[in-house]
Amino acid sequence: VPIDVAQAIRQRRSTRSFQQKELPKELLLQIVEAGIWAPNGGNAQTWVFVVVTEGDRLRHIRAVSPGILGTPAAVVAICQDKELAEEKGGRLARETASVMDSAMAGENIMLYAVGAGVGSCAVLSFHKEAVRQLLGLPQAIVPELLITLGYAAEENPLPRREFQSVCFFEKYGIAHGSRAE
Ligand SMILES: Cc1cc2nc3c(=O)[nH]c(=O)nc-3n(C[C@H](O)[C@H](O)[C@H](O)COP(=O)(O)O)c2cc1C
């Protein structure tokens, strides 16, 4: 069911409780492909996506990732080829842009998942070296962010700070007044 971008943004909630239901591989790959359309520094595209669905490997990843809650049907490791990043854009690319690129790709994946009725959660709390080894990543390729995916069993909508208190107009400290809808 196609939904618009504004809806998808508001509907995305971190899912930490999943149904024990498989994600069709075709759909899973469509969701992950949304990642490559994310903005990325200099269009360097130094990312690598590893999609894990196999039971034992998923269990091992969960075991080294305290940030994964629930039992997702899949985990996507958004990784960065740090050598390629260095080659393409030096230190700024390796240390900063590649991290931001991973976050952008992650959000794309999570928003696309919303449109497909699939829940997700970004996870940073994981053991990088252990995940690198479990996925057979070469030394230069570093997992930056995990995205869990699966059909949600529960909703947990978290509130946001008041928009007015975090968004100013023209200059810090100047309230923007009411928003035109
Ligand atoms: C960089 C980053 C790291 C995160 N790490 C974790 C994590 O390790 N475990 C987890 O359950 N959620 C993690 N989250 C999800 C946030 O907790 C969640 O987005 C936030 O509480 C807001 O809730 P919402 O996504 O439902 O709006 C992470 C989110 C981001 C952006």
Residue ranges in the chain modelled with pLDDT below 50: 181
Would you say 141 and 126 are in contact if contact means Cβ atoms under 8 Å apart?
no
Would you say 137 and 143 are in contact if contact means Cβ atoms under 8 Å apart?
yes
Residue nearest to atom 12 of ligand 1 (CA): 123
pLDDT of amino acid 155 = 83
Residue nearest to atom 11 of ligand 1 (CA): 67
Q: CB under 6 Å to ligand 1: residues?
A: 13-14, 16, 67, 69, 121-125, 158
pTM for the full predicted model: 0.96
Q: Give residue 22 CA to ligand 1 midpoint distance, Å.
A: 23
* Tens-digit pLDDT profile for residues 123-143: 999 999 999 999 999 999 999
Q: What is the rounded CA–CA span in Å between residue 34 and residue 116?
A: 12
Give the tokens for residue 27.
Answer: 């759909």
- Residue whose CB lies within 8 A of the most ligand 1 atoms, among 123, 154, 156, for a mutation test: 123
pLDDT of amino acid 181 = 45
Q: Give residue 122 CA to ligand 1 midpoint distance, Å.
A: 5
Residue keyed to tokens 């971008």 = 5
Q: Give residue 170 CA to ligand 1 midpoint distance, Å.
A: 30
Q: What is the rounded CA–CA span in Å between residue 73 and residue 24?
A: 10
Letter for the amino acid at 44?
Answer: A
Residue nearest to atom 20 of ligand 1 (CA): 14
pLDDT of amino acid 56 = 97
Residue 143: exposure state from Cβ atoms within 10 A (0-12, 13-18, ≥19): buried
Identify the CA nearest to 138 among candidates 48, 40, 58.
Answer: 48
pLDDT of amino acid 97 = 98
Residue nearest to atom 31 of ligand 1 (CA): 122
